Homo-oligomer: A and B are copies of this chain.
Amino acid sequence: MSSDSDIPRQDELARERLIDLAAEFYDQFAAGEVPSMQIPTRTKSNIEYDEEKGVWVYGDRHSTRSANTVGGAQKLLKAIYVIDFLQNQLEENRSSTLRELYYLSESWDLDAAQFNSQDESNGLIEDLEIVSHVKREDFHMRPEESGAKVMGPLLIREQTNRGEREIHCQDDVGQGGYQIPNNVDTVEFLDHDADFVMAVETGGMRDRLVENGFDEDYRCIVVHLGGQPARATRRLTKRLHDELDLPVTVFTDGDPWSYRIFGSISYGSIKSAHLSEYLATPQAQFIGIQPSDIVEYDLPTDPLSDSDVNALRSELEDPRFQTDYWREQIELQLDINKKAEQQALASRGLDFVTDTYLPERLEEMGIV
């Protein structure tokens, strides 16, 4: 491991914020006060829609974590150990996973500072993100989850820990595409020849689009979500939109769980509402599979299960789906009592999706 003396500015900023937090505790001690930390309440009742930004953010309610109880004091103690660990990690230009942090606490000299479960250490990292306004990735905390694979007319430069790499996401990669790193902020977009971005839920459909040359024919950057998208994937999608000014489309199965995937890309989630600004792409548009596609194209379907029906009903109440479009589609789906997968389009032939379905939808949406 090289200990890079030329620490990037982002890292320096993250370190300063962490040290500021520690300094606050120090000042509280020095002033003879009981140390404490203010954290926004992270429940559904404290989530607000930010009209201007078009994403979900925490409201005004806060709770105070104070050292005036043994439990509170222990939490602050753990926070200080983690701050110390993180600022060392940044200084040495290293990184670690949430799971490693949990295990690593066993090596700390003070038993009271060790974590009892990974939920506890995960929660503390989220608290520090919120209080310091620094993303977990900027603390160099890596997720377990893998990020997206990208295929499309895009030239990137990635800062790896063994130097820079310039990679064209069609010409320099195999059929599997470019595997984005855990921290996508190490990736710079150098050049592109794309008209829009398409985030695709399933591997089978991603492979179909690549085999059919859809990314070439339609100048499309295909991003494989692989189910519920990782933070890195959502961040990448947002950056492609914001920095390259490209429309973002989302192509999933036609069921309530897939609509939630669309929701997490476009509006963010309760768990990470403090990061909506970094992760959510409010301008993202849903391509399908729409319930109306099931009818129009007579797709092979499965009946809705009880949990599908419940999920659809709860989406009707979800502020993120309060539009005429979504109400109509969800009510139609409850009515026909059917769901369909992306790959069900193959019932019309292997090229139907790229020759007919997507071109028609993209034209309707005004994207091509």
Report A's interface with B, CB cutoff 8 A. 1, 94-97, 99-100, 103-104, 106-107, 142, 144-147, 149, 158, 160-162, 165, 167, 170-182, 186-187, 202-204, 207-208, 210-213, 216, 226, 300, 341, 343-351
Contact = CB atoms under 8 A, between A and B. Distances in A.
Contact of A175 (B181, B211, B213): B181
Contacts of A349: 104, 107
Given A97-B343, A99-B346, 9 more contacts: A1-B212, A97-B204, A104-B350, A147-B176, A161-B210, A162-B216, A167-B174, A174-B179, A176-B179
Contact of A180 (B99, B176, B208): B176
Contacts of A147: 176
A347 B106 contact: yes
A188 B183 CA distance: 30
A181 B176 contact: yes
A181 to B, nearest CB: 4
Please tell me how many copies of the chain the complex holds: 2
A103 B145 contact: no
Given A104-B346, A106-B300, A162-B213, A99 B174 contact: no
A178 B167 contact: no
A262 to B, nearest CB: 21
B162 A170 contact: yes
Contacts of A171: 165
Nearest to A167: B174
B207 A103 contact: no
A100 to B, nearest CB: 4
Contacts of A182: 175-176, 207
B104 A347 contact: yes
Nearest to A164: B174
B104 A1 contact: no
Contacts of A348: 107
A123 B7 CA distance: 55
